[in-house]
């Protein structure tokens, strides 16, 4: 094949050829995602104008954490104006996934929906709805430095950083 040296078309084709796999997904698979999901796309707390608390008493437990029996379990809790949140986070072990369990208690609005969101940078890894006093559990592949956002019925957002060991 004869190409001019420095030809941008040649460069783009040569680059494109280096990708081993380029496969069109089955059309029925694509059709399943063409309609937007029902789940809400939540604003980042800083952009939404919601009040954001950083927890003051996040701490590791060195392996004494309740529900999670694994040795590296880390506890974090926070009391805020309207209630309290507590989590147990177990770093990846055999399956390579973080396991985060917790519960939010509200003094009022017991039946109101609370959304718990696991965030890694610009990626919302998981988003689950819960209510006051109900356990939530997240089992996800996520890197270090994740944050857990608790979107309260009031519109306020509590942000818990990854608890340190």
Q: Name the site residues for other proteins (rule: CB under 8 A).
A: 1, 9, 12-13, 15-27, 29-37, 39-44, 47, 92, 95-97, 119, 121-125, 127, 140-143
If phi > 0 it is left, if psi is from -120 to 50 it is alpha, else beta; for residue 133 that is left
Nearest residue (CB) to other proteins, 143 versus 161: 143
Measure CA 158 to chain center. 14
Closest contact distance (angstroms) between CB of 53 and other proteins is 19
CB 149 within 8 A of CB 138: no
Q: Please, what is the minimum distance in Å from the beta carbon of residue 130 to other proteins? A: 16
Beta carbon of residue 112, minimum distance to other proteins (angstroms, whole number):
21
- Residue placing its CB nearer to other proteins in the complex, 145 or 165: 145
Element (H, E) at 68: none
Residue burial 49-80, b: 16+ Cβ < 10 Å; e: rest: ebeebebeebebbeeebeebeeebbbbbbbeb
**Least distance (Å) from other proteins to the CB of residue 136?**
16
- Taking the CB of residue 105, how many other CB atoms lie within 10 A of it? 15
């Amino acid at each position: 094949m004869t190409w001019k040296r420095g030809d941008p078309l040649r460069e783009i084709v040569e680059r494109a050829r280096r990708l081993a796999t380029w496969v069109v997904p089955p059309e029925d698979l694509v059709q399943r995602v063409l309609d937007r999901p029902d789940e809400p796309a939540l604003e980042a707390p800083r952009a939404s104008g919601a009040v954001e608390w950083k927890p003051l008493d996040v701490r590791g437990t060195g392996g004494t954490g309740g529900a999670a029996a694994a040795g590296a379990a880390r506890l974090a809790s926070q009391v805020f104006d309207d209630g309290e949140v507590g989590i147990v986070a177990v770093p990846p072990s055999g399956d390579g996934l973080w396991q985060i369990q917790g519960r939010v208690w509200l003094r009022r609005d017991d039946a109101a929906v609370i959304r718990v969101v696991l965030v890694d940078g610009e990626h919302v890894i998981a988003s689950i709805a819960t209510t006051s006093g109900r356990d939530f559990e997240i089992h996800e592949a996520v890197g270090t430095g994740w944050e857990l956002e608790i979107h309260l019925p009031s519109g306020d957002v509590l942000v818990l950083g990854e608890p340190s060991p």
